[in-house]
Amino acid sequence: MSSKFNPVAVGQNDVVILVMGSTGTGKSSFIQLLTNNTSVKIGNNLDSLTSEVQVFRLLDHTSGRNIVVVDTPGFDDSRSDITDTAILKKITEFLLNQ
């Protein structure tokens, strides 16, 4: 089955943490700090930068389990053509694809 999200990104035993909230509240910054992954895109201000659902993984060395942190487009987006409903739809579609 093809998916616009990486189908191997989330395994059955993975712990999935969904990070949701308004644009500019530090969701991506939090994920970058947690995963130490510099490819996480951080915005400069209240303008939105994350427009797609993105997954970042980290390994919990204690349990040996993969943790999948999901960055999501923020609500109250600065781009007027992107509604909260559209954002919620993107997040829901991602979850249904897992």
Ligand X SMILES: Nc1nc2c(ncn2[C@@H]2O[C@H](COP(=O)(O)OP(=O)(O)O)[C@@H](O)[C@H]2O)c(=O)[nH]1
Q: Closer CB to ligand X, residue 42 or residue 88? A: 42
Q: Pick between residue 10 and residue 24 the one whose CB is nearest to Mg ion.
A: 24
DSSP state of 38: T
Query: Would the CA dihedral through 47, 94, 92, 27 be positive or negative?
Result: negative
Size of the site for Mg ion (CB under 5 A): 3
Binding Mg ion by CB under 5 A: which of 24, 28, 32, 94? 28
Q: Which does 29 bind (CB under 5 to 8 A by kind): ligand X, Mg ion, none?
A: ligand X
Would strands 15-19 and 54-60 be described as parallel, antiparallel, or unpaired? unpaired
The partner in contact with residue 54, picked from ligand X, Mg ion, none with C-beta cut-offs of 5 to 8 angstroms by kind, is: none
Contact 77, 48 (CB under 8 A): yes
Q: What is the closest distance, in whole angstroms, from the C-beta atom of residue 50 to ligand X in the complex?
A: 5
Q: Distance between CA atoms of 77 and 6, rounded to whole angstroms?
A: 25
Q: Which residues lie near ligand X (CB under 6 A)?
A: 23-29, 42-45, 49-50, 74
| The residue type at 59 | L
